[in-house]
Amino acid sequence: MDKGMLHYLSAINQQIEAHEAVLLHIYDIEALFEPLLVGNLLDFPILKLHDYIGIANKSVAKIKVLNEQMLSLLSKIRRESLSE
């Protein structure tokens, strides 16, 4: 296998890993908010709601970082393929 193909396979593997990580963060957010969506929102203490929002915000920040990393990698591959 040539070096270019290994580079692309590595990028695809990184992309798959990033998508898996994003999906796990989404599942965590869904699990976090499910009790709020099926229950009475007024039954939850405001501090607990604040904590839930803070946790969700951290997960969204992690998702953004993963997305930016993968976008950067894909952009680099595109630039390299256009320059060949």
For residue 10, the number of C-alpha atoms closer than 13 Å in the C-beta half-sphere is 9
pLDDT at 11: 85
The boundaries of the domain holding residue 30 are: 3-83
pLDDT digit string (tens) for 40-82?
Answer: 888 889 998 999 999 999 999 999 999 999 899 888 888 887 7
pTM over 0.85: no
- Total domains in the chain come to 1
* pLDDT tens per residue across span 20-34: 999 999 999 999 989
8 φ, ψ (degrees, to nearest 5): -65, -40
SS3 54: helix
